[in-house]
A and B are shown apart, each in its own frame.
Chain A
Amino acid sequence: MPDLSGYRFTPTHEWVHRHGDTATIGISDHAQAQLGDVIFLDLPAVGAQLRAGERFGAIESVKAASDLYAPVSGTVSEFNATLTDAPERVNSSPYEEGWLLRLDGVTEGDVELVDEATYLTRTEE
């Protein structure tokens, strides 16, 4: 299990890992388990502006199409191009190889971000 001490989670099951004013975002292990096999992702291009709490893309699994919501605001500096050919990495490694986007110029908005322990408690409610 990766060290998730720097990861924080949204109520909509995304995670964000900040490094100063940059950040990496993805979806939680709980979310990938619920969705089942990921078939493809719709992710924004480099340079796109994300606003905390707003939809930035979609993830399509065997089970469902789900919208993705930005945990923080920022500018897309990189998207995980390996997911084009290997979307199953979101299932097998949601916190490492299955990351979705890297952002620059990160600021936090109105989205409540909690640590893993709190998040896990809430998913079990």
Chain B
Amino acid sequence: MAPVREDSAVRASRGDLRRGSAMLRSGREERVPSQRSMAARTPLHARHVSAQAVMVEFAGYEMPLRYSSIRDEHVAVRTRAGLFDLSHMGEVRLRGAGAEATVQRLVANDVAALPTGRALYTVICNEAGGIIDDWIVYRVEDGFLLVVNAARRQADLEWMQSHLLPSTQLVDESDETALLAIQGPAAIAIVQTLADCELAVLRPFASRLGKVAGVACRISRTGYTGEDGVELYCGADPAPLLWDALLEAGAGHGLLPAGLGARDTLRLEAGLRLYGQDMDEGVDPYSCGLGWTVRLGKGEFIGAARLRELDPENPPRRFVGLALGPRQIPRHGMTVRSAGAAVGEVTSGGFSFSLGHGIATAYVEPHLGAAPLSIDLHGETVPAHHVPLPFFRREQPPRRRGD
């Protein structure tokens, strides 16, 4: 699941400091909400401004890039906890007798056996097998809740409308819904102090209805950081109250508010794809390494015919993880080479605060085997070591008896 297109809030290029400053000037102006900006605001906008967050426009929303430093916020999530405002994400409900068949037609994964409250990750393909978006799909008490990328919301809604089966009602609840994510090893303990139900029993990708700080929420054990934690879906109106309560409850645990900058560095370390940057309609799920979300045996769905023609083991391209040196930071769009020849391009890259070196994901030609790779970095060609994704995996807590 992901923010989108105009992609990574920490997107980079090379220039002098003057150019660097021009790149972010819009962000700076938005710190004092500018009259020029037509961007939408989340229900927590006033909280971000009063916390003096650096604001950037992302997917049509004014969003916090960072409150303090991306490094500090990243480390907080890996070692303690971070609180994110993800209210720009889209929430769409499907209800009615045709809802399940409609979901099955739209998504590549299989929701038939999904129990109430549980969620799954899936890609949505067009007829050509290209990825239209990636969603988290929950089966809820009265149908399905689809969580979609903010920048894809309008396109997704049109796509859904054009493929609705009879007896299916679609409601876009994005504007009335806030989404807060608390991520990190202390996240569950922090939210538990405010919750009216036991959170430890919620398994990954499970959710339930409950109250946190008295605010009615869907409490979901999901995230986009590679850490344990929960995401809380609540109404827009009480969201600031919930935000304040979480920050207060987390103060003793070292909880920090965290922006899109840390979200991007965390998700890259965790090997999680970002729609619009790591994948788009020109990419099939196998090339992207998301073949595990495709269930060709479940019956017909949009794109299935084309996906059946592909060999899941030998897709047209291969999505790989690359590790560089401590002073080598790969960036989106850089060329990947093998024996001098261009064989691919970096989709996401950056510095891994957890590992202390540069990391990147890239599409490369499929039949390179173990051939050494390199990346064109500011005029130099530097070795890039092919490593398995994710780059970073948190240590699993010891399993409790009975698990």
Q: Which residues of A contact B (CB under 8 A)?
A: 11-14, 27, 30-31, 33-37, 39-40, 42, 58-69, 88, 91, 123
Q: Bound complex: CA of A1 vs CA of B13, how far in Å?
A: 31
10 pairs of residues in contact across A and B, judged by CB atoms under 8 Å: A12-B18, A36-B24, A36-B66, A37-B71, A40-B327, A58-B378, A62-B10, A62-B12, A62-B261, A64-B15
Partner of A31, one of B11, B20, B265, B327: B20
Shortest Cβ distance from residue A68 to the other chain B in the assembled complex, whole angstroms: 7
Instruction: Give the interface centre of B17, B54, B71, B261 by most chain A CB atoms within 10 Å.
Output: B17
The contact of A62 among B21, B265, B326, B327, by CB within 8 Å, is: B265
- Chain B facing A: main interface SS: mixed
The reply on B346 being an interface residue by CB < 8 A is: no
CB of A91, distance to nearest CB on chain B (Å): 7
Contact assessment for A39 and B19 in the assembled complex, using a CB-CB cutoff below 8 Å: no
Judged by a CB distance under 8 angstroms, whether B311 is at the interface is: no
A37 vs B329: C-alpha distance when bound (angstroms): 13
Residue B14 interfacial (CB < 8 Å): yes
Whether A13 contacts B17 in the complex (CB less than 8 A), given A62-B351, A64-B23, comes out as: yes
Segment 1-52 of B: residues with Cβ below 8 Å from A: 10-21, 23-25, 28
Task: Say whether A27 contacts B17, CB under 8 Å.
Answer: yes
Listed from nearest, the 6 A-B pairs whose CB atoms lie closest are: A13-B17, A34-B21, A64-B12, A65-B14, A37-B71, A66-B20
Say how far B25's CB is from chain A's closest CB, in angstroms.
8
Are the C-beta atoms of B17 and A63 separated by less than 8 Å? Answer: no
- Give CA–CA (A35, B24) in the complex, Å: 8
Question: How far is A112 from B250 in the complex, measured between Cα atoms in Å?
Answer: 49
The answer to whether A64 and B13 have CB atoms under 8 Å apart is yes
A35–B20 contact, CB under 8 A?
yes
Contact B21 A13 (CB under 8 A): yes
CB < 8 Å: which of A30, A63, A66 contacts B16?
A66
Q: Which residue of A lies closest to B15 (CB)?
A: A66
Chain B minimum-CB-distance residue to A36: B70
Q: How far is the CB of B362 from chain A (nearest CB, A)?
A: 18
- What would 18 more interface pairs be, CB under 8 Å, given A34-B24, A61-B20? A13-B17, A14-B17, A33-B54, A34-B25, A36-B65, A37-B70, A39-B329, A42-B327, A60-B327, A62-B10, A62-B70, A62-B261, A62-B350, A63-B12, A64-B12, A64-B13, A65-B12, A66-B19
Chain B interface residue count, CB cutoff 8 Å, equals 31
Contact for A123 among B21, B23, B71, CB less than 8 A: B21
Using a CB–CB cutoff of 8 Å, the interface residues on chain B facing chain A are 10-21, 23-25, 28, 54, 65-66, 69-71, 261, 265, 326-327, 329, 331, 350-351, 378
Q: Is the CB of A63 within 8 A of B20?
A: yes
**When chains A and B are docked, how far (Å) is the Cα of A64 from the Cα of B14?**
6
- Residues on A with beta carbons closer than 8 Å to the beta carbon of B14: 64-67
Residues on the B chain within 8 Å of A39, using CB: 329, 351
Return chain B residues, CB-CB under 8 Å to A11: 18
Given the complex of chains A and B, what is the CA–CA distance between A36 and B256 in angstroms?
Answer: 17
A12 CA to B21 CA, complexed, in Å:
9
Q: Is the CB of A12 within 8 A of B24?
A: no
The answer to whether B10 touches A67, judged by C-beta atoms less than 8 angstroms apart, is no
CB-CB under 8 A from A62, the residues of chain B are 10, 12, 70-71, 261, 265, 350-351
Of all chain B residues, the one with the shortest Cβ separation from A31 is B17
Most buried by A among B19, B28, B54, B71: B71
Q: A27 contacts which chain B residues (CB < 8 A)? A: 17
- The reply to whether B20 and A60 form a contact with Cβ atoms under 8 Å apart is no
CB-nearest residue of chain A to B262? A62
| Known contacts A36-B66, A37-B71; A68/B17 CB under 8 A | yes
Q: A62-B70, A63-B23 are in contact. Are A36 and B261 (CB under 8 A)?
A: yes
Contacts of B70 in A (CB 8 A): 36-37, 62
Whole-angstrom distance between the alpha carbons of A123 and B29 in the complex? Answer: 12
Shortest distance between the CB of A69 and any CB in chain B (Å): 6
CB contact between B24 and one of A14, A63, A68 (< 8 Å): that residue:
A63
A11 to B331, CA, bound (A): 26
Query: Which residues of chain A come closer than 8 Å to B18, judged between CB atoms?
Result: 11-13
Report B-chain residues with C-beta under 8 Å of the C-beta of A30: 21
Nearest CB on A from B371, distance (A): 27
Min distance, Cβ A62 to any Cβ of chain B, angstroms: 5
CA distance A68 to B19 in the complex (A): 11
Distance, CA A14 to CA B21, complexed state (A): 12
- The one of B13, B17, B25, B326 in contact with A35, judged by C-beta atoms closer than 8 angstroms, is B17
- A34 in contact with B28 given A14-B17, A68-B17 (CB within 8 Å): yes
Closest to B358 in A: A39
Give the chain B neighbours of A34 by CB distance below 8 A: 17, 20-21, 23-25, 28
A89 to B351, CA, bound (A): 17
Contacts of A59 in B (CB 8 A): 17
